[in-house]
Amino acid sequence: MIYRVLVIDDEKSLSHSLCEGLGDLGYEAHSASSAAEALEQMVSFKPHIALLDLRLGSDNGLTLLPELKKLDPDLVAFMMTAYGDVKTAVAAIKAGAHDYLHKPFEFDELDILIQKGVEHLKAMNRLSLYEDETLHRSKFMIGESETLKAVLHRIEVVAPSERTTVLIQGETGTGKELVAEAVHKLSPRSALPFVKINCGAIPQNLMESELFGFEKNAFTGANARKKGLLELADGGTVFLDEIGELPLELQSKLLRFLEDHKFKRVGGLEDLEVDVRVLAATNRDLKQAILDRLFREDLFYRLNVFPIQLPPLRERGEDILLLTQFFFENEAKKNKSSVPELSEAAKQSLLSYRWPGNVRELKNVVERTLLLYPKQRIEPNHLPPEISKLRFAENPDGGIVEENAGEQLMTKLLSGNFSLEEEVKSLENQYIEVALALSNQQISKAADLLGISRFALKRKLEKV
């Protein structure tokens, strides 16, 4: 990316030489000699960085600065000032300038300052992306069920505590990482690092050095000292995901660390101490793992200071439909299309499915369904087979019960309203819809998939 720099100074010879020098360093540079010209350049040139002289003839750089920031709040502005204007420059920094330069200055000094400005812009961009992602992902924890409200309440209770260890348990896809992020974001450590460590993804022989770091020559290939993830998280929060996969030999070392927050790097003799909060998560039954001698009981109780149990999606009732609607709206926005409507029968199918993959599975189902059936109304037959195959009959005691495929056919045949012609037509329409979706609505390709002529398919479409 090429960063744009606007030089605002009424000394045109100085502006010209600065623009040339900045161009040689790889920046795109323009100049402006007055407040009016600078404001015009802000609109047309859209600079990332501005070099602003405090004195611009009859104009005042200190007065111009708020106008520049109003046009672009992310603009990194540096004030250029003579020695006698230091107090004014300090006032300019309070008003939004990033830093200032004394005139006259060496070009190397300006180069260093511009580099700092670029690094600031990159950091702000990373922060913005992180906040956008966190905001977007936190919305996945939406719902009105009492079970979800209980989880959100526990997050609010434990988050303000800087040290309390939290153990988050729940099935895969229930949002354990989101809970950990929420605890961190609502804690006093929110502005400090949030380091995620997947205990199941790092090879066992590398896990210790990843957690605690290592000293130079600690093992073959250790050519320099390396800080571990716990050390890099100093001051912030460490999230140990899939803690149930941590090898037994490392569980004892983690337990010692949790007791006093001290550790030694691999190959090191010196005790190091860090200030971190530890959150852990697992989809394993740790109590059973303890009985199977795969997890230390003392580590379990040390982690389980404040437990949060996430409910599976199937136990969240109408939250399934709220989340489905949320994902529908997201996909519609992404594809610039209208939000589809769920039929009552489709809603019933979604509510009755057990969702072994929980919220993650629901999100995938919505995306796949809308790719295959970009329709205004979603029916059960538009849903994946594992969901749409479910049919329901009235229970003699009231309510709805699930039937198997054979019972479904018998129920239909004995209903008194069965029509083979209608059933065949419905199945045919389903295949046509899928073929059109797979062929991007191209009739010739869809006809090839169906094994019929283009003319025959057009005739069938005219009858739909």
* pLDDT value, residue 365: 92
52 forms beta bridges with 8, 79
* pLDDT value, residue 411: 62
* pLDDT value, residue 89: 65
- Mean pLDDT across 399-428: 65
- Mean pLDDT across 143-148: 90
Confidence band, pLDDT 50/70/90 cuts, at residue 464: low
* pLDDT value, residue 79: 86
**DSSP run (H or E) holding 165:** none
What percent of the chain lies above the pLDDT cut of 90?
40
The answer to whether 221 touches 267, Cβ cutoff 8 Å, is no
What percent of the chain lies above the pLDDT cut of 70?
89
For all residues of the chain together, what is the average pLDDT?
84
* pLDDT value, residue 384: 86
Give the rounded distance of the alpha carbon of 152 from its chain centre: 19
* 78-89 per-position pLDDT tens digit: 988 875 566 776
* pLDDT value, residue 370: 86
The answer to whether 69 touches 96, Cβ cutoff 8 Å, is yes
Pairwise CA distance, residues 461 & 464, whole Å: 5
The answer to whether 216 touches 223, Cβ cutoff 8 Å, is yes
Strands (E), 170-300: 194-198, 213-214, 226-227, 237-241, 262-263, 272-273, 277-282
Who has greater pLDDT, 123 or 275?
275
